[in-house]
Amino acid sequence: MKKSLAVTLLLAGAFGAAASAHADPRARFMAANCSYCHGPEGKSTGAIPSLAGLEVKYFVDQMKAFKDGSRPATVMKKHANGYTDAEYEAMAKYFAAIK
Amino acid sequence: MTINRRDFLKASGAAAGVAAVGSLSGCASMGGNATPKVVVVGAGFGGSTFAKYLKTWYPKAIVTVIEPNAHFTSCPFSNTVLAGINKMDDIELPYAYVSKMVDAWVKDTVTSIDTKKQTVTTAGGKTFAYDKLVLAGGVELLFDKVQGYDAEAQKTIKHAWKAGRDQTGALRKQLEAMPDGGTFVMSVPKAPYRCPPGPYERACMVASYFKKAKPKSKIIILDGNPDIASKKGLFVAAWTKHFGYGTDNSMIEFRPNNQPRSVDANKMMVGTEFDDVKGDVINLVPPMRAAAITGLAGVRTGNDGTWCPISYQTFESTVVKNVHILGDSALTNFPKSGSVANNTGKMCAYAMSEMFAGRKPDPAPVVTNTCYSGTGMGTAFHVATVFRWNEEKKAMVPPKDANGVSKEESELEMAYMHSWATNVWSDTLALPASYKFTAQG
């Protein structure tokens, strides 16, 4: 019984998030690409930081800081080098909209 | 696993009146009201992720998943079981959540595929019609490429390259039973193979166990490749730092260009081109190719019939319409990693949801890989790459400096590796935020 309740809540969460994400599909896809490290919908289960709910400016500033090296990183400099400023912005908006 | 067959049959019936999704142009005219039938074969990192994201991004798709196993077993982290850091329980995860997201979840094995009639038939005698077929079966191991590696020998000699109790679990028991001072012989197939850094991580993990429990023991790596095939500098540094590599007292002996040609499970001997190598425990990973189901569909046509050529925009086979191939089976320049399988699942779900909605798939996708390896000594390191479509080269190419490895192993990256695992498991299997993971880093 416990399990089926969890599943119901999960499904509500997944579809709720999808519905709220009126972001364009490319932004949604790029954001989803982050989730294998940062957790589904940017909600991390461990030491890697969550992205859900971050302010747009903060997210974009961090990506720029990873790219120019002013924020030290393990993997993130490589990821930051792979995307454009416009793409940072698109992903930032997607994550900012997640409650 | 609940199949909910009645609902599935109802859904199939409802979809029967809808025109088959015949081609990209056919899709483009569907205008977002289509209820296409999508059959997914295999629920590993690729197939399960695809099914979850397609249902999220295009809920009207009628998705059936066919998977023979009762639960998911993670290959990433399976080397930690060999080290004794985790048990099989810790890397076994439920299909209970993702299976509820799709229209039907069938515990069965696909035995034939008719790409003209667009049907899939299972060992259980069921036939499923599809508009889109997604093949996510991982790899097929080619035991017959190693003389003597027959069904009888396989009872003793384990590959542990598809994680499971009869492989990873059995190999761990063999390592536990091995006396101190014994020799563990392991092999690396010629690239391309599943999980490029995996074998070298395995050497670290087993060495970390030996160092604690059986310090007089040795590891011989028989590598089919001319050199360490992934993260070379980092693995050599870890072997040197922790296991005496490069000294007379090294626990690890690395032998490049030593593809196993034969194995004798009674004499416990592996034959290479150069010599016969005796081991107390032998872990032989045979050559591999795209999953057997891709052969059934006639899509395993690349690289002399070993892997499946696909379009990067849709992951559709370049030779058979409406058959899409994910993860390890696909012929790409991506590493065959769990991360990539997870992300190719999303790339395909993205393209397909766009087509079902009456739009064109993204002509220039971007996708990433991040892959951690542990040393077994509380540290880890990574390789990370962003791949972007390059129209001139017609290929997925990393932009400048968007590809690289760790400077050095670290405890921080071990924490990230553990977090990567729980996040990618959650993402792939739609696990709830409250799910209690037991795997240790």
Bond from prior residue into B192 cis (ω within 30 degrees of 0): yes
Contacts of B419 in chain A (CB under 8 A): 37, 44-48
Tell me the domains of chain B and their CATH numbers: 5-140+289-361 (3.50.50.60), 150-286 (3.50.50.60)
Q: Would you state the pLDDT for residue B163?
A: 98
Q: Do the Cβ atoms of B331 and B302 come closer than 8 Å?
A: yes
Q: Would you state the pLDDT for residue B34?
A: 83
Contacts of B433 in chain A (CB under 8 A): 43, 45
Contacts of B424 in chain A (CB under 8 A): 36-37
For an interface test with B, the pick among A9, A20, A29 (most B C-beta atoms closer than 10 Å) comes out as A29
Picking from B101, B346, B434, the nearest residue to A11 by CB comes out as B101
Q: Cβ A45–B422 below 8 Å, yes or no?
A: yes
* pTM score, whole prediction: 0.91
Q: Closest residue of B to A13, CA-based?
A: B432
d(CA B235, CA B381): 9
Q: Would you state the pLDDT for residue B347?
A: 98
Half-sphere exposure at residue A48, Cβ-oriented, CA atoms within 13 angstroms: 29
Contacts of B341 in chain A (CB under 8 A): none
Q: Do the Cβ atoms of B138 and B291 come closer than 8 Å?
A: yes
For an interface test with A, the pick among B416, B419, B425, B440 (most A C-beta atoms closer than 10 Å) comes out as B419
Grouping H, G, I as helix, E, B as strand and the rest as coil, residue A82 is coil
Chain A closest-CA separation from residue B105 CA (Å): 15
Grouping H, G, I as helix, E, B as strand and the rest as coil, residue A75 is coil
Q: Cβ A43–B399 below 8 Å, yes or no?
A: no
Per residue of chain B (441 residues), give pLDDT as tens. 344 433 333 333 333 333 333 344 344 445 667 899 999 999 999 999 999 999 999 999 999 999 999 999 999 999 999 999 999 999 999 999 999 999 999 999 999 999 999 999 999 999 999 999 999 999 999 999 999 999 999 999 999 999 999 999 999 999 999 999 999 999 999 999 999 999 999 999 999 999 999 999 999 999 999 999 999 999 999 999 999 999 999 999 999 999 999 999 999 999 999 899 999 999 999 999 999 999 999 999 999 999 999 999 999 999 999 999 999 999 999 999 999 999 999 999 999 999 999 999 999 999 999 999 999 999 999 999 999 999 999 999 999 999 999 999 999 999 999 999 999 999 999 999 999 999 998
Q: How many residues does chain B have?
A: 441
Q: Give CA separation, B124 vs B11, B102, B107, in Å.
A: 20, 20, 9
Contacts of A29 in chain B (CB under 8 A): 346-347, 350, 362, 365
Grouping H, G, I as helix, E, B as strand and the rest as coil, residue A43 is coil
Q: Give CA separation, B431 vs B54, B72, B436, in Å.
A: 16, 12, 10
Q: What is the mean pLDDT of residues A19-46?
A: 88
Residue given tokens 């089926």 in the structure block = A4
> Strand pairing of B281-283 and B183-188?
parallel
What ipTM was reported for this prediction?
Answer: 0.90
Contacts of A36 in chain B (CB under 8 A): 339, 342-343, 370, 420, 423-424, 427-428
Q: Cβ B362–A29 below 8 Å, yes or no?
A: yes
Q: Closest residue of A to B341, CA-based?
A: A36
d(CA B157, CA B271): 14
Give residues 42 to 61 of A whose Cβ lies within 8 Å of B.
Answer: 43-48
Q: Do the Cβ atoms of B337 and B74 come closer than 8 Å?
A: no
Grouping H, G, I as helix, E, B as strand and the rest as coil, residue A2 is helix
Contacts of B125 (CB under 8 A, 6+ apart): none
Q: Architecture of domain A23-96 in CATH?
A: Orthogonal Bundle (1.10)
- Give the distance from CA A85 to its chain's centroid: 15
Q: Cβ A7–B96 below 8 Å, yes or no?
A: yes
Size of interface A-B (CB pairs under 8 A): 139
Q: Would you state the pLDDT for residue A17?
A: 45
Q: Would you state the pLDDT for residue A71?
A: 98
Q: Would you state the pLDDT for residue A11?
A: 43
For an interface test with A, the pick among B101, B315, B370, B436 (most A C-beta atoms closer than 10 Å) comes out as B370
Q: Would you state the pLDDT for residue B441?
A: 87
What's the token pair of residue B148?
């003597």
Q: Would you state the pLDDT for residue A99?
A: 87
Contacts of B100 in chain A (CB under 8 A): 7, 10-11
Contacts of B428 in chain A (CB under 8 A): 36
Q: Closest residue of A to B418, CA-based?
A: A46
d(CA B234, CA B243): 13
For an interface test with B, the pick among A8, A41, A44, A45 (most B C-beta atoms closer than 10 Å) comes out as A45
d(CA B340, CA B350): 15
Contacts of A28 in chain B (CB under 8 A): 57, 350
Q: Cβ B426–A18 below 8 Å, yes or no?
A: no
Q: Closest residue of A to B97, CA-based?
A: A7
d(CA B297, CA B290): 12
3-state secondary structure chain B: CCCCHHHHHHHHHHHHCCCCCCCHHHHHCCCCCCCCEEEEECCCHHHHHHHHHHHHHCCCCEEEEECCCCCEECCCCHHHHHHCCCCHHHHEECCCCHHHHCCEEECCCEEEEECCCCEEEECCCCEEECCEEEECCCEEECHHHCECCCCCHHHCCECCCCCCHHHHHHHHHHHHHCCCCCEEEEEECCCCCCCCCHHHHHHHHHHHHHHHHCCCCEEEEEECCCCCCCCHHHHHHHHHHHHCCCCCCCCEEEECCCCCCEEECCCCEEECCCCEEECCEEECCCCEEECHHHHHCCCCCECCCCEEEECCCCCEECCCCCEEECHHHEECCCCCCHHHHHHHHHHHHHHHHHHHCCCCCCCCCEEEEEEEEECCCCCEEEEEEEEEEECCCCEEECCCCCEEECCCCEHHHHHHHHHHHHHHHHHHHCCCCCCCCCCCC
Q: Cβ B415–A18 below 8 Å, yes or no?
A: no
Q: How confident is the model at residue A5 (pLDDT cuts 50, 70, 90)?
A: very low
Q: Cβ B437–A45 below 8 Å, yes or no?
A: yes
Pick from B138, B104, B195: nearest CA to B328: B138
Q: Give CA separation, B398 vs A67, A81, B311, in Å.
A: 15, 9, 17
Q: Which residue has the higher pLDDT, A6 or B130?
A: B130
Q: Cβ B56–A10 below 8 Å, yes or no?
A: no
Grouping H, G, I as helix, E, B as strand and the rest as coil, residue A18 is helix
Contacts of B237 (CB under 8 A, 6+ apart): B408, B409
